[in-house]
Amino acid sequence: MFANALGYEDLMGRWSVRLGAMFLDFARIHGALSVLDVGCGTGSLVLNILDKMPKCEVVGIDPGSQFIDFARSRISNPRVKFDVGDALNLPYGDRTFDASLSLLVFMFLKDPAKGAAEMRRVTKPGGIAAACTWDRHALELTEIFWQEATKIDPEADARAQRPNHSNREGQLHALWTGAGFRDVHEKKLELKLPFKSFDDFWLPHTKGVAPQGQYVASLDDEGRGKLRLGLRNRLLGDGPDKPFELNAVAWAVRGGAP
C-alpha cells in the first residue's frame, strides 16, 4: 500500500524534513495553537511542528489518500489530524487556524492564486500564512539527473515536468501580495543534501517515484546502465565511492492575514 509513499520518502521526503525545519523558523508561527499544513504529503512538516511547538494542534491535508494513510501510520499524536482534500477548496471554515503553512506544494497547483486565497480565508486575522518551494533551477538533486539523462537521450528533458511558476525569486512574494496578505516577506533558503554513497543517491531513483523514477523505469537495462554510469562519473569522477553533498535552494514567503 505504501510503496509510493516510501519511495517518495527515500527520494525527496528526507530532504523535506531538513527544509521544513528552516521553513518553520522563517514562518515565525511559534505562538500558534492551531496550524493547517496544506499539501502535507507524508507528514514531514507536521513532524517539524510537533517537535518545535509542543502545545500546537495540527491538521494536515493532502489530495493523495496513499500519502495520508502513510502519514497516519507514522504519526499517531493526538494533537494531529489528517484529511484527504484539495488545496484549492479547503474543507474548513473561514478564520479557523492561527497559521496556515504549505511546503513544496504551490509550484504544482493549477491555480496558485486560488490556493493562496484559500489559505488566507482559513487563517485567523493577524495569523500567518507561509509557503515554500524548491527553486526551479537550483536543486542539484534533480538538475544533475536531467542534465545527465539528456546527454544520453535528448528527449529526456521533456519528461522532467518541472513546474514553471511559484518557484523563482519574487514569484511567491507576488502571489502573497496579490492574495492580500500584509507585511509580506520572501527569503532564499539554502541547504546541503548529504549522501552517504552513490547508491544513496541512485537507488531512490529506481523506485518509480516522481518524474525521475518514472523515467528510469521506462529505460531498458542498457539505458539504465548508461544513465547510472553517467551520474556516477558526474558525482564522483573516476574516484572511489564516498559521501558527497549536493546544493539546494528554496524560496519561502510569509504574510499576515488581514
Q: What is the tens place of the pLDDT at every residue in 187-214?
A: 999 999 999 999 999 999 999 988 899 9
Percent of all residues in the chain with a pLDDT value above 90, rounded to a whole number: 87
Backbone angles phi, psi at 247, to 5 degrees: -90, 150
The overall pTM is greater than 0.85: yes
Please check whether residue 149 is in contact with residue 95, taking contact to mean a CB–CB distance below 8 angstroms.
no
Q: Could you give the number of structural domains in the chain? A: 1
Q: What is the mean pLDDT of residues 106-116?
A: 96
Backbone angles phi, psi at 10, to 5 degrees: -65, -40
For 106, the domain range is: 3-256
Which strands, in side-by-side order, build the sheet including 97-103? Answer: 80-84, 57-62, 34-38, 97-103, 123-139, 244-256, 182-195
The cell numbers describing 209, all together, are 517515484
CATH code of residue 96: 3.40.50.150
Q: Which residues of 173-195 are buried (b: 16+ CB within 10 A; e: fewer)?
A: bebbeebebeebebeebebebeb
pLDDT per residue as tens digits for the range 218-248 = 999 999 999 999 999 999 999 999 999 999 9
Q: Does 89 have pLDDT greater than 80?
A: yes
